[in-house]
Each structure stands twice: as C-alpha cells, then as structure tokens.
C-alpha cells in the first residue's frame, strides 16, 4: 500500500487526512486490525524509533507507552521485583517474558498518563506481553511482528477494533525529513545521533564514578528525551523511566514535573500504599486514581468528605508529608537526563530531593560552573554530553 486514508487529522474537522510515502514507494507498515488515526500513527512512529534505539543501545527488549506524541514511560526488559509486579498490577500473571517486563515497566512508570496509550515494542509481541496489553485501556500497538496466539489475544480487544500495526523493521527512512506549518514547508536532516555509553565519558564533577547500571539508566533517559516534546527532563532508575517532564517552557518546571512523577513512583512502593484495601470490583484505573489521590497532598479533603467508603474497605491512615519524605529518602542512585543544558542550579536542588545521583546534560550554559558546583555539593556525578535533544 502506497498511501492510507485516515478518518481525520488531529481533530474531526481536519479533513481529508492520509499517510503516504512522498517518493511513491510502499508504506513500511501494515494494519492488521482496527483503523489507526492520525495521532495514533504519530505516537506509533515516534515510539517505534524510541524502542528500536533503546534495544540497539542496551541489547535488551524495549517498550514505550506514548500519549499525545510524548512518552509516558519507556523501559527495557529487566526482571520485575515482587514489589514492582504488584504496583504494576501484573503480580497475578506469573513469570513474564523480558518484553512483557519492559512493557509492564513502561506502562507502570506513570499509570495515570498511560491510560489510553499507544504502545511500541522493539520485538515480536509474545503471548506474555499480549496478556498485559489485553487488560489495559489502550488505543493500539506497533511491533515488528506478532506471535499467532498473541495476535488473536489483541484482536479480541475493543470488540475486534483494537489498532494493531506491524512495521517492517528493515525500513530505513530518508535522511531528510519535512513538515508543513501554515502552508510553509520545513526541511531538516533526521536526528540520527547515536546515543550510547560513549557520550557519557566527559564527567565534569569531582565525583567521576558512574556505574554501569547508572549508564544504562542515563542512556534510557536520553533516548527517551530524543522523542519527547521539548523542553523535557527524564528521571530513570532500574532500567526504566520513572518520571518524564515534557513540553514545559521552563527547564525547572520540567524538573519539578518529572521529579513529582518519580516521587509518586517511589511512594507507590511504600507499604502504607501497598497495603491499601480497595472495595471489591474496583478497576485498575480507578485504583490508580485513588492511589494518586492518596499520595497527593489534598487527600485530607477526600477523607473529610467521606468519599473513601466508595474506594476503600477500611478508612486509610493519613500519609503525612514527613512519612513521604522519609520513604523517598530511602531511594538513592536515581539518574537524570535533560534534553538541553541546565541554566540554573535550582534544577539540581530539585533533583536531589528525589534521590538523583547521576546526571547527563549537554552543558554549554554560561552558568555551567554554578551547576557543577551544586552537583559537587551533593556528591553527584554529572556528564556533559555536548548534544542537544530538542524534539518538536
């Protein structure tokens, strides 16, 4: 197929809409089920690039959960601890494949943002991964292939209308890319920059020690940022993004947003949260919303209004700010990537509150010395990559 007609563009009033190859060649994708839309394809193609690069950089299966052209989560296929399996709602599925672990991590990083996501998988979708996808609210998935049983599981979603895309993994795009804004065509070279451990060699802080596990996390954060709407900052830990701050005009607001999401990821693992007793029949999405509210500072309002009885079997104890801070302080060795330089040290101050110990950013600010000094004060190791990763 050389072109594919779509129902509409970003919004229903934007018609006609289609995807096609400008040189008249065949599209590198097949739709195996459903009718993906304009935004679905934007998420699918951005996500596919992300997971393809993550796998190339780490050698591990990779997955990402995309919403509105930015990742809500991205991860590689490292095994899950019992605690992570529980907070990702997959502890009842038995042993998971590496690809399934990658998607469980990607979906679980920020479950509220991942609601209704578009999924990208670096490897052939197996049954283990399909079983996780089957139970979550999602718009569709793109992968280089599907095991027959996995495909049947996915086709049963949404009454047979779930969007399933297969991409030719040998496809190589043209070196120049174009888009139009207000009828004016923009052209640029594709961002083919390779991200691997080599870009972490210029460590500018007194602490020069970045262990291999942290290098993997920094690479994950930087590749994630390469496909995140700028400005953007990404916290990563244990083989996955745990907090992504996307599309903010101020760098420190990116860091605050990403840091708050990372904090929520940590707090979900606290026994006080793990031991919450939900009323029977409450769905995963409603449980996620309840946990987010419980972790939030305004949960006293819910307790006071008596709404808890619709959510919990037992009225939960208040989760105090002091208890939250104590729990978060148990985490250390978090990695942080930034798509452009930090102009002020306030970003480092905020990162420290979420256990950041390793930082990767381009450098090049007139205040680099102040940012380096802040890292030295906290004992952080920071690498200047010399590369900017803006994505628009």
Question: Which positions are catalytic?
Answer: 67-68, 231, 392
Paired residues of 64 in beta bridges: 74, 120
Tokens of 328: 């978060």
Distances (CA, A) of 281 to 116, 235, 311: 20, 33, 10
- Ramachandran region, residue 120 (left: φ > 0; alpha: ψ -120 to 50; beta: rest): beta
Q: By the 8 A CB rule, do 373 and 351 touch?
A: no
Q: By the 8 A CB rule, do 141 and 163 touch?
A: yes
Instruction: State the Cα–Cα distance between residues 86 and 5, nearest whole angstrom.
Output: 42
Tokens of 150: 């996995």
Distances (CA, A) of 124 to 1, 60, 66, 94, 299: 22, 13, 18, 20, 42
Paired residues of 143 in beta bridges: 166
DSSP 77-93: -PPPPHHHHHHTT-TTS
Q: In the 8-state DSSP scheme, what is residue 147?
A: -
In 3D space, the residue among 120, 124, 123, 129 whose CA is nearest the CA of residue 48 turns out to be 120
Which pairing describes strands 176-181 and 184-189: parallel, antiparallel, or unpaired? Answer: antiparallel
Give the length of the chain.
Answer: 392
Q: Specify the DSSP element, H or E, that contains 243.
A: strand 240-246
Instruction: State the Cα–Cα distance between residues 51 and 72, nearest whole angstrom.
Output: 13
Distances (CA, A) of 28 to 31, 38, 169, 263: 10, 16, 8, 39
């Amino acid at each position: 197929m050389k072109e594919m007609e779509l129902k509409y563009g970003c919004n229903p009033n934007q018609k006609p809409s289609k995807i096609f190859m400008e040189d008249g060649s065949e599209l590198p994708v097949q739709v195996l089920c459903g009718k993906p839309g304009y935004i679905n394809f934007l998420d699918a193609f951005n996500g596919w690039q992300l997971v393809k690069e993550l796998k190339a950089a780490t050698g591990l299966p990779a997955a990402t959960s995309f919403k509105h052209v930015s990742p809500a989560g991205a991860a590689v296929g490292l095994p899950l601890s019992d605690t992570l399996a529980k907070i990702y709602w997959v502890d009842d599925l038995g042993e998971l494949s590496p690809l399934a672990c990658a998607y469980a991590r990607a979906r679980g990083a920020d479950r509220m943002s991942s609601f209704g996501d578009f999924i990208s998988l670096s490897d052939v979708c197996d049954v283990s991964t399909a079983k996780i996808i089957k139970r979550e609210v999602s718009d569709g998935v793109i992968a280089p292939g599907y095991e027959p049983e996995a495909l049947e599981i996915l086709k049963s979603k949404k009454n047979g209308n779930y969007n399933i895309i297969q991409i030719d993994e040998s496809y190589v795009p043209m070196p120049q890319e174009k888009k139009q804004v207000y009828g004016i065509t923009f052209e640029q070279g594709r961002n083919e920059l390779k991200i691997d451990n080599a870009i972490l060699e210029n460590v500018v802080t007194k602490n020069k020690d970045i262990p291999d596990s942290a290098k993997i996390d920094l690479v994950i954060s930087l590749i994630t940022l390469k496909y995140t709407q700028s400005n953007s900052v990404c916290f990563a830990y244990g083989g996955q993004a745990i907090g992504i701050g996307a599309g903010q005009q101020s760098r420190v607001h990116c860091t605050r947003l990403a840091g708050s999401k990372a904090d929520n990821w940590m707090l979900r693992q606290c026994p006080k949260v793990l031991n919450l007793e939900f009323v029977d029949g409450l769905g995963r999405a409603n449980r996620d919303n309840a946990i987010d509210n419980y972790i939030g500072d305004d949960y006293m309002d819910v307790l006071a209004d008596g709404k808890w009885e619709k959510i919990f079997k037992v009225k939960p104890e208040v989760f105090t700010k002091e208890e939250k801070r104590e729990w978060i302080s148990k985490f250390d060795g978090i990695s942080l990537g930034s798509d452009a330089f930090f102009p002020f040290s306030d970003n480092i101050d905020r990162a420290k509150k979420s256990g950041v110990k390793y930082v990767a950013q381009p450098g090049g600010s007139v205040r680099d010395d102040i940012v380096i000094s802040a890292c030295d004060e906290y004992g952080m190791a920071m690498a200047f990559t010399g590369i900017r990763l803006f994505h628009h």
